[in-house]
Amino acid sequence: MTPDTPRDPEIEPDTKDWTWVLDMPCPECGFDAAQVATTDVAPRIDRNAATWQRVLAASSAEVRPVATVWSPLEYACHVRDVHQVFGQRLRAMLSTDDPLFANWDQDEAAVLGRYAEQDAARVAADLATTAGTVSAVYRSVPATAWERSGRRSNGSVFTVGSLARYHLHDVEHHLWDVSGRSR
């Protein structure tokens, strides 16, 4: 985040490098990338998206549990955008040799996208669409392409397989975030 990047003054920016979840289980949500087969990623993304539909249908979806924690609606907006960003990265990895991914500032995206002001029903529909689109791409990955590489600007290198697991952790972790266990 740059000094002139807009942000919600109540939300602490997430500056952690979460790539460690590819090497060890997440102590918060319990996700264990080593236990996820690439063939399991698409169905789990689909199940995750279906659960978000129920979360967003709740009357409390727009309410922050505390001022410094996103509401379920804000998390869902982020998950929708995660599917879009990872879909772009996945398609780049499948069509280009070792692409360098454009930076994505999730905190800036939340402010510019006015996550807290979005309509829950519209977000539910968009999340379902983006999740379905990216899960279809994962289902279409040829067996020979799971080791294709791509890079983030910070030097993190991913294969299609590790990107898939990293992506899955992100969306499953955020569903865990809104379940109440992290509050």
Task: Express each pLDDT in 136-145 by its tens digit.
Answer: 999 999 999 9
Instruction: Give the pLDDT mean for 39-53.
Output: 97
Region of poorest pLDDT, from 4-8, 142-146, 158-162, 172-176: 4-8
Q: Residue 17 pLDDT > 80, yes or no?
A: no
**This prediction's pTM:** 0.89
Helix (H) or strand (E) segment spanning residue 157 = strand 157-159
Residue closest to 115 by CA, chosen among 81, 68, 66, 65? 81
End-to-end alpha carbon distance in the chain: 25
- The residue whose two tokens read 């600007």 is 153
Task: Express each pLDDT in 92-113 by its tens digit.
Answer: 999 999 999 988 888 888 888 8
The whole-number pLDDT of residue 3 equals 44
- Tell me which amino acid residue 114 is: R
Contact 126, 115 (CB under 8 A): no
Please, what sign has the CA dihedral across residues 177, 29, 41, 104? positive
Q: Residue 21 class from Cβ within 10 Å (0-12 exposed, 13-18 middle, 19+ buried)?
A: buried
And the tokens for 60? Answer: 């409390």
Q: Residue 93 class from Cβ within 10 Å (0-12 exposed, 13-18 middle, 19+ buried)?
A: buried
Rounded Cα gap, residues 84 and 6, in angstroms = 21
Domains and CATH numbers, the chain: 28-178 (1.20.120.450)
Instruction: Give the pLDDT mean for 55-73.
Output: 93
Mean pLDDT in the chain? 90
